[in-house]
Amino acid sequence: MVNFLIFGPPGSGKGTQSVKLAQKFNLVHLSTGDMLRAEIAGGTELGKKMSSIMAKGELVPDEVVIEMIAAKIDSAKNTAGFLFDGFPRTVEQTKELEKMLGKRKMKIDMMLVLDVDHDELVKRLISRAELSGRPDDKDPSVIENRISVYRSKTEPIINYCQEKGLYQPVNGVGSIDDIFERLSDKIKHFA
């Protein structure tokens, strides 16, 4: 099993690329954002509690996403590995993920980081809002907050993974196909 983190600020294209990569390399794509939105759409108690946090662009509590991920890892079958998208988002979540994988004789094998500049991110999120209908894409102040939460809480994971030799930056500007090629080039050495 090989396990990849796909990383980058909101709007960097993690979700789009993850779907394509998971298909190409037979990986299970685990997006905590998608799982949380499914809870909201399903009208569950958890969804109701999380929706106001997400609408502000803040992070939901670590234990919520950790529990979701653990359940998904155990239910996956016949996979070459996992592609974690939007998780971990804090150093604490990263340590929990390492423990979770360790117990199952797995580890994080590589962290792919999509680099996209600030203005391009804002532009993409605003145009995505039209299609996605996501409330957190509609409001420019929420977009700015998500980017700043990424810089303060999520980006420190890059250092943490860099020290372990897992960090692989990828230029996230260009066509979807070009970026897919760049990411595939990194993954193919493993998968």
Give contact residues for ligand ADP (rule: CB under 6 A): 10, 32-33, 36, 53-54, 57-60, 65, 86-87, 89, 93, 136, 146
Residue among 58 and 109 whose Cβ is closer to ligand ADP: 58
Residue among 94 and 189 whose Cβ is closer to ligand ADP: 94
Residue 64 CB, shortest distance to ligand ADP, in Å, is 7
Residue 65 CB, shortest distance to ligand ADP, in Å, is 4
Residue 78 CB, shortest distance to ligand ADP, in Å, is 25
Give, to the nearest 10 degrees, the angle between helix 176-187 and helix 14-25. Answer: 50
Residue among 153 and 165 whose Cβ is closer to ligand ADP: 153
DSSP string, the chain: -EEEEEE-STTSSHHHHHHHHHHHHTEEEEEHHHHHHHHHHTT-HHHHHHHHHHHHTPPPPHHHHHHHHHHHHHH--S-SEEEEES---SHHHHHHHHHHHHHTT----EEEEEE--HHHHHHHHHHHHHHH--HHHH-HHHHHHHHHHIIIIITHHHHHHHHTT-EEEEE--S-HHHHHHHHHHHHTTT-
Residue 160 CB, shortest distance to ligand ADP, in Å, is 15
Residue 72 CB, shortest distance to ligand ADP, in Å, is 13
Residue nearest to ligand ADP (CB): 33
Residue among 115 and 185 whose Cβ is closer to ligand ADP: 115
Residue among 2 and 54 whose Cβ is closer to ligand ADP: 54
